[in-house]
Structure 1
Amino acid sequence: MTIRKISEQAPFTTKDGSTIRSILDLSNAPVKMQSLAEATVPAGGATDRHYHKLSEEFYFLLEGKALMEIDGEESEVVPGDAILIPAGAWHQITGIEETRFLCCCAPPYQHDDTYFE
């Protein structure tokens, strides 16, 4: 059985500029098919626009308000919203307010699968 407490996971900055705490991923669990992290973006801050060749992502907003852009389409997102980011889709999230969300990647997130313009 693998159980990880989010409070015991150290935050770090990903290649796209967001701050995350891995909940379950390749660095701390015997995962094979997915990863789960908590991400934060400050008010007025944004991730760098990027895409993943392999990973499909889900974002699930917990707190705050943000502008989500996927392949040129933009929408305001709020707590309770779930967002699908297909593999290969350019995307960026910009905090209107400080925003906290869960991010699930399948296959698991890896820095080497993050690409920029």
Structure 2
Amino acid sequence: MTTAITRTVKVASEEVDANTKRGGDLRVTLSPKTVGCTSGFGGVLTLEPGDHITEHYHPYSEEFLHIVEGTLTMSLDGEQITLGPGDSLLVPIGVRHRLVNTGDSTARGAFHLSPLAPRPELGHVDTEPAQHPAESNPDVGGTP
């Protein structure tokens, strides 16, 4: 039996540590570890011009991405898709993806992944080396 969340839980992005392992500044704000949710996790991302999130895929989860600011290019199994403010993108389960800030200003977005992998360490499969492997934050409750 699962326990339903019966109260509103607000988390400010400044309250959680950044995960920069794959590049950029990823902050998982809503997750099993931060708020006790059970169906997925989400948060916000910031990428400076020229920065990127290294390629990976999710064997159990779809990823939903919404761009708030800046110009980004998402590679989905090698296909390039340009994204700007107001654009949303679905990354299907098992699709390799890599996100690059191709603009000349800071890019910001929000993401959500669902459903959860059976265990957090099974949620992501890297297909290229992490940019900053020592900068992983295992306490964020899931990393995009």
TM over 0.5: yes
Q: CA deviation at 1:8?
A: 4.4
Q: Quick check: 1:45 aligned with 2:51?
A: yes
The list of structure 1 runs, each at least 4 consecutive aligned residues, that deviate by more than 6 angstroms after superposition, is none
Structure number with larger C-alpha Rg = 2
- Between the aligned partners of 1:6 and 1:111, the Cα distance in structure 2 is 25
Which 5+ residue runs of structure 1 have no aligned equivalent? none
Identity of aligned residues (%): 27
Structure 2: which 5+ runs fail to align? 1-6, 128-144
**2:122 matches 1:116:** no
**Could you tell me which amino acid in structure 2 is paired with residue 116 of structure 1?**
D
Q: TM-score, normalised by structure 2?
A: 0.73
Equivalent position amino acid for 2:112 in 1:
C
Query: 1:57 & 1:107 partners in 2: Cα distance?
Result: 9
How many pairs are equivalent?
Answer: 117
CA distances 1:40-98 after superposition (whole Å, capped 9, x unpaired):
11110101111011111000001111111111110110010000001100001100232
The whole-number CA distance in structure 2 between the counterparts of 1:68 and 1:99 is: 13
Deviation at residue 29 of structure 1 after TM alignment: 0.8
Q: Structure 1 residue 15: deviation in Å?
A: 4.4
1:10 to 2:11 alignment:
no
For 1:104 and 1:29, how far apart are their aligned partners in 2? 14
Distance 2:14 2:49 in 1: 25
Structure-2 residue corresponding to 1:83: 89
Q: Which has the higher strand share?
A: 1
